Chain A
């Protein structure tokens, strides 16, 4: 630059105090990126899934034969409690929040969740909730079952700190879910791409929205209940203590007012996942989009009105029992509507059996069994025979494992390429699916018979006179096959993360916006958010790209003239 020449002053952007983004493991601790938080959720919850699964296998070894001697009653009850609590509060509910975290902003064309820091807080509350709970195994783990019925969980009968650890777990994970739910609601209501009206929102987004509303409606009840239990245990109140004028049934009402919606909290997002996967691999649009979305809302609403069907054997008047039988019946209708619509989506499709699709199709196939046993359980005189037996154990596993977990695995196989940029091994995937499918049915189908023969749930041992020894042995063998099946998927994830084939942006020819961006998506998700014109924006985009790529004039097509 020559001296003496006048140069006009140029505006400069000077930034002070901008720290470099932390790299390495620190980036995971400090992140507010919804994708990293989503991965943290998925990774932590799968660890809890493995831990809960090992607990189940130990129980199955104990029950493989009558009069098993591996575990004393105290340890067995602790395992019952840890297994149920882990699977519900530390796996199924938060793993769905993990998928929601990763996918919701991508599917609605947003750059992050509405409140990124709150999002990070949700995850860390969950993790610390889990850690507080698991620390109790070094002292005295809780032994009163995941339902923590009073007075058994009260200080007179469970004086050690295990129940308190459980109460803190409920508070921490509850807060985590509540904040997460508020975040999902705010995000879905406000941050959808231009053109994405309610009728064009992907069904998984619908499911997460309803999941969030259900959490907001149901969690306060259990939060209140566990606080009352805490004060009963330590500060001399008698909410649930009959000797002081309280009522143990109050606990059951407050707990199940949360506990039954919790079932739908766990299963609706899984239904949402397969409502995405089934049409993509059938090469057909979802059949009855509005019916599926409406049935999600209907199930959530009715799900708030059925809680006392868990209490049919308690001293309760017949009118009340009849009401809860009828309300439970009505839920079968929207659930049936969903299943019929999925089958109608498959009907006359061109079904491509990738692993994700196999897990997705297994969901209606297995959920039907849980739905049917659910109707039997809803008939309260019949429930008097079935409740609190292995029939219920079988039912709830068909609903939660067959319904939720198979759907979660469908989501894992479906979205893994988007999250990692690599495809999972189809061979290992299919092996894992069939092993899990066979193992699952072997474990749980036969438990119906054990329950019908008179085997109550949550017993650490049983008599040979009960004639359930054969059933239990088959169930135990099945549980190990199921465990191997899960292990194969874990290996598949670890191997494919390093050496899977490159996936590209859209390996499945998906319908929704997450397939528009790169795999894995950049930090801002999208440089340009496309305008949404239908419920399947990616189909529109692919069609447009195809049209643009066609050499001009090769096909005589009417060109829309600007009028």
Chain B
């Protein structure tokens, strides 16, 4: 009997060891295997990357806790299943050191998470200076008085006013001559873009996943966020706060282009707007001349 029991014990230990190794392997391989399926979108802007890192650190700690809790739970329901004629279980009612232990243990993990969060907060929350390859700060078009002063040294950011309305986004650029777009926001690369976000009807939420977190657009308030794109390209997103029947259709694209290309676009767009304003004026005059009252 005794050798059999020992063998069973050894088998069990082996099985446990195998389980532990499997779990650790799973833990190590999880990010590789699942890729972006278990982490947030990132890669467009440093704040999105920092959020991704902060998320991953928390997730790794969480996976360890998850495996310990579920493992113990699974172990106890398998190991301590009722057996006919089994002994009456010991009537244990509690254990104060154990209670204090796991309370402090849980609290300690949360302290660690708090510290890590505050370490990453600055990089997520506060916009850095624009890069050397960004839009030149002396670009005369942006010498506007409502520009926030650059946060760190040189590298002035470009401020864009984002306005949410059922069911489209409007982007207002600074400058003397009017410049605005709908749906597609064109921005220069390597330039910090700060956004002032509001809404004119109901609440919307600005969100381009690869460029960082959401910022609710609330009527009567101005919310702020920022991004800074290195790679030219299209970054897609959509409204993230239920805003009515066509909420799902309220999408947005950020198009990042090199600064010189941006300036070319900018000049053309400003001219287009001015031209269409002039055309509007001409049409109005024409209608009046023809006696059409609309």
Contact (A365, B58) CB under 8 Å given A285-B91, A384-B214: no
Please provide the chain B residues from 118 to 143 with a CB less than 8 Å away from any CB of chain A in the complex.
120-121, 124-125
> Is B214 touching A350 in the complex (CB atoms < 8 A)?
no
- What residues of A have a CB within 8 angstroms of the CB of B55 in the complex? 376, 379, 382, 385
Closest chain-B Cβ to A232's Cβ sits at a distance in Å of: 14
- What residues of B have a CB within 8 angstroms of the CB of A350 in the complex? 80-83, 86-89
Closest chain-B Cβ to A387's Cβ sits at a distance in Å of: 6
Most chain B CB within 10 A, of A243, A380, A456, A458, is at A456
Chain B CB within 8 A of A348 CB: yes
**Contact residue range for chain A?**
35 or more
> Is A149 touching B73 in the complex (CB atoms < 8 A)?
no
- What residues of B have a CB within 8 angstroms of the CB of A448 in the complex? 38
> Is B98 touching A344 in the complex (CB atoms < 8 A)?
yes
Closest chain-B Cβ to A309's Cβ sits at a distance in Å of: 13
In the bound assembly, the distance between CA atoms of A329 and B58 in angstroms comes to: 13
> Is A460 touching B80 in the complex (CB atoms < 8 A)?
no
Chain A CB within 8 A of B174 CB: no
**Interface-lining segment among A21-29, A71-79, A165-173, A401-409:** A71-79
> Is A288 touching B219 in the complex (CB atoms < 8 A)?
no
Q: Which of B89, B241, B244 contacts A157 (CB 8 A)?
A: B244
Contact (A151, B99) CB under 8 Å given A284-B91, A287-B94, A379-B113: no
> Is B221 touching A249 in the complex (CB atoms < 8 A)?
yes
**Interface-lining segment among B63-71, B180-188, B278-286:** B63-71
In the bound assembly, the distance between CA atoms of A429 and B225 in angstroms comes to: 52
Closest chain-A Cβ to B254's Cβ sits at a distance in Å of: 13
- What residues of A have a CB within 8 angstroms of the CB of B239 in the complex? 456
In the bound assembly, the distance between CA atoms of A460 and B70 in angstroms comes to: 35
What DSSP secondary structure best describes chain B's contact surface? Answer: mixed
Q: Which of A326, A347, A375, A452 contacts B38 (CB 8 A)?
A: A452
Chain A CB within 8 A of B51 CB: yes
Please provide the chain A residues from 239 to 265 with a CB less than 8 Å away from any CB of chain B in the complex.
242-243, 247-249
- What residues of B have a CB within 8 angstroms of the CB of A145 in the complex? 242
Chain B: CB-nearest residue to A291: B99
Closest chain-B Cβ to A361's Cβ sits at a distance in Å of: 6
Closest chain-A Cβ to B88's Cβ sits at a distance in Å of: 7
- What residues of A have a CB within 8 angstroms of the CB of B106 in the complex? 332-333, 336-337
In the bound assembly, the distance between CA atoms of A380 and B94 in angstroms comes to: 36
Please provide the chain A residues from 360 to 378 with a CB less than 8 Å away from any CB of chain B in the complex.
361, 364-365, 368-369, 372, 375-376
Most chain A CB within 10 A, of B36, B121, B248, is at B248
In the bound assembly, the distance between CA atoms of A558 and B23 in angstroms comes to: 54
> Is B219 touching A456 in the complex (CB atoms < 8 A)?
no
Chain B: CB-nearest residue to A285: B93
Chain B CB within 8 A of A189 CB: no
> Is B76 touching A347 in the complex (CB atoms < 8 A)?
yes
Please provide the chain B residues from 159 to 204 with a CB less than 8 Å away from any CB of chain A in the complex.
166, 201-203
Q: 6 A-B Cβ contacts within 8 A?
A: A80-B242, A248-B220, A346-B77, A350-B86, A379-B54, A381-B121
Known A353-B77, A376-B59, A459-B247; further 19 A-B contacts with Cβ < 8 A: A80-B242, A151-B219, A152-B243, A291-B99, A315-B216, A333-B103, A344-B98, A346-B77, A348-B76, A352-B82, A361-B77, A369-B66, A376-B55, A376-B62, A381-B120, A385-B55, A452-B37, A452-B39, A452-B41
